[in-house]
Structure formats: C-alpha cells, structure tokens
Amino acid sequence: MSIPGNVQPKHISIVVLLLSLIACAETTPRPVVTATAVDPVDLKGAAGQVAADLGRQLGPARDRTISIDPLLDRTTGQQTAASLRAQGELVTALTSSMTGTTIQPLQELTAEPRGLVATGSVGVATPPDQYVLSVALTDRANGLVVAQSVARFRESALDRSPTAFYSESPSLVRDRSVDGYLKTAETPKGSLADPLYVEQLPTAALMASALAEYNAGRWESALAGYTAAAARADGQTLRTFNGLYLTNVHLKRMAEAESAFSKIVALGLTTNNLAVKLLFRPGTTDFLADPTFSDAYPMWLRQIARGANTAKVCLSIVGHTSASGTDAINDPLSLSRAQAVRGLLLKEVSGLERRLRVNGVGSRKNIVGTGADDASDAVDRRVEFEVQECAS
C-alpha cells in the first residue's frame, strides 16, 4: 500500500479526524502583536526583520553555530508549507546578516551541549491573511533563551497545508514535546526555554533528520532515524511511532506497520492524546474511496477497538464538522459521523455496546474555525472520543 502522504473519572481524549479532503489545536493564546502604522511586510520581509533583530540581540561573534529545529504551524503543531517556507527564508536571512555564524539544520548532537538552537512558529495574527512569525534562540548549555523576535506579516492565500509526513501520518502528533517547542519559540529573551524541550533536544535532532529524509522520499534512511529515536527513553512519542508506521508502509512491511500503529493507540490511551485520521466524502458519512488511505482503516479501527476494550473504558463519541455549513446541516452530519464510527467499532469488538455513546456538536467546538475546507482546517472535521473509566 502507498501513502499520499482528572481522574475520577479518568478522561482520555481520542480524536478521530473526519476529513472531507485529503489533508491533515491551538491550546495557548496567540502572541500579542502590536499593530504598526504601516501595512506589515510579506513572509520574506518578516524573516529578514526577525534575522536582523536576532543579530542585534546577539551582537558580533566568532565561530558561532545556530541549529534550526524545523519551524511549525502554531495552531496545529505541524510542519506546513508556510512554516517550511518561513524556515528557508529565515536561514537565508540569518546567513546573510550574521557574520562569523554557521547556520545548519538540527542534527545529531554530541553529549556535550553547545551552540544555539532556533525554534520558530507561524501563527495567525488577524484572519484571513495576517500572520506572525516568532523565533527564539536557546543556548543548549544552560537552556536560556538568548534572543527572541516576532514580526507580523501579510500574505494572501498563504499555504498552511501540512507537509508530507504530517499529511500522511495516521494520527495527529501534537503532544507535550510539541507544546514545549511552541512555547519556547515565544519565550522572551533572558527566560528559560521549556525544560522538556531542552532535555529532549538530542532525540529531537534524530527526528528532525528523519523528517527531512521522509519528506525527500528516502524511506530506509527515515526509518533508521525514527528507529534510533524510538530506542531512546524520551523517544516514545507520537511523532516517532507515526514515523515508524509510515516508513514501514512505504517499504511494504505491513506487520511492522501495524505494530507501530498499535503503539500509537497505546500511547494515546496512556497520555490522553490520540488522533487517527479517517477521510470522508464531503457532506456524507461515507469514507473517501481512496485506497492510499482507506485500505488501512480496518486495521486502524481494529486496533482502536481492541485498545479501548483492553483498557476497559467507556467512550463518549462526539462528532464535529468544519464551519463551512449551517448548523442545520452540520449538527446532524456531525452526529451521523459519530454514529458511523460507533458502528464500525462494534463490528471489530463485540461487547462494546454499553460503553459507546454518541453526540454531535457541529462546528461549535472548532479549533481552527476558518471554514476553508482544506488541509488548514482539517482538524475541525473530526469525531472525538471522550474516554473515562466505566462505573461498576
């Protein structure tokens, strides 16, 4: 198969995306950006402003190294076409504006912490086409943010669709480590970066290299990187297991792929954070007839049903839609999709009937909320499983 790309009761959130299009949560408030008297620059101009500002804060230096951890979309925590483009513009601007500095991708780090690491995000400032670029430089030796800059920019039709790894991953990958990355990108100069992010940098370096290999279609090299990350204690993450799943699928190693997917489910149940993508035809409860995705659904649903059964939990299945339709259309559609997923889970494991309830909330709990009906707001088209221990 090919890929296109708190306790009492205990709550576990499993999110199953119901996508109307092939594509793939903003948990923290957007940074406050002071409006200027003139229109903001474009993305290239914003990257230039940020690079110049970071250079001023650092001052002149000799033999300085800045490693770039792949920039992410602030809302979804994914690498997108926009964040990848912003990363390229930033590298170009830093290279031209900082003398005596080596700019390089984040790569396998030695045991001796040294150098600076750049983290950055692209977020929405004012919909639909004003955005903000945030970048921080962290000293690996002490975890201190030594420079941080924010620039606002305007660009129509900015492509916020996820890149290959994120669009093809069977589950969403935003977790505590991703949140730490995004928090660090907005941490003011002189403050400590997120401690977990700094602690996990050696593993993040392995995954950054694996991500680049995956996006380039070098499956064996990407698999080696994700395998190395998974061997580390702090490498048991959704990004790692998604990487193992995807690379094994591309290499047609389906037993290994299913094993990796079972780990995605188990980790999601343990950490209250599992999101598995199911693509639906627009406005229906029918799966999109695309074998590159839908051929895997029986296995995904089997693993989810078995995982829920093993955990002995009850599921409240809540359907969601994007904001493009009216409530009169979205409410029943969201409920019908939740019912459809319930039926599929019951076919996989008998005895779940009394543990499954359904509800539909339409578009009232959107995360992105633009109603674009493309990759950028795909997370809004989902069925959410609110999981809790069943009463005896």
pLDDT digits (tens, 9 = 90+) for 101-124: 999 999 876 556 779 999 999 999
* C-alpha span between 237 and 177 (Å, rounded): 8
Do the Cβ atoms of 31 and 123 come closer than 8 Å? yes
Q: Which pLDDT score is estimated for 39?
A: 61
* C-alpha span between 74 and 70 (Å, rounded): 12
User: For the chain, first and last CA: distance in Å?
Assistant: 43
* C-alpha span between 161 and 79 (Å, rounded): 9
Instruction: Name the superfamily (CATH) of residues 12-28+164-180+192-389.
Output: OmpA-like domain (3.30.1330.60)
Instruction: Name the superfamily (CATH) of residues 43-154.
Output: ABC-type transport auxiliary lipoprotein component (3.40.50.10610)
Backbone angles phi, psi at 41, to 5 degrees: -75, 180
Q: Please list, residue by residue across 174-188, b when 16 or more beta carbons sit within 10 angstroms of its beta carbon and e when fewer do.
A: bbebbbbbbbbbbbe
pLDDT below 70 — which residues of the chain?
1-39, 109-112, 279, 282, 288, 292, 374-376, 378, 391-392
Question: How do the domains of the chain map onto residue ranges?
Answer: 12-28+164-180+192-389, 43-154
Q: Which of 80, 184, 187, 63 is nearest to 124 (CA)?
A: 80
* C-alpha span between 55 and 165 (Å, rounded): 32
Do the Cβ atoms of 285 and 340 come closer than 8 Å? yes
Q: Please list, residue by residue across 116-129, b when 16 or more beta carbons sit within 10 angstroms of its beta carbon and e when fewer do.
A: bbbbbbbbbbeeee
Do the Cβ atoms of 198 and 279 come closer than 8 Å? no
Q: Which pLDDT score is estimated for 265?
A: 87
Listing DSSP states for 104-166 in one string gives EE--PPPSS--SEEEEEEEEEEETTTEEEEEEEEEETTTTEEEEEEEEEEE-TT----B-HHH
Q: Which pLDDT score is estimated for 384?
A: 76
Rg of the chain over all Cα atoms, to the nearest angstrom: 21
Give kind and range of the element (H or E) at residue 177.
Answer: helix 176-185
What's the whole-model pTM score? 0.83
What residues contact 305, with CB distance under 8 A and at least 6 apart? 345, 348, 349, 352
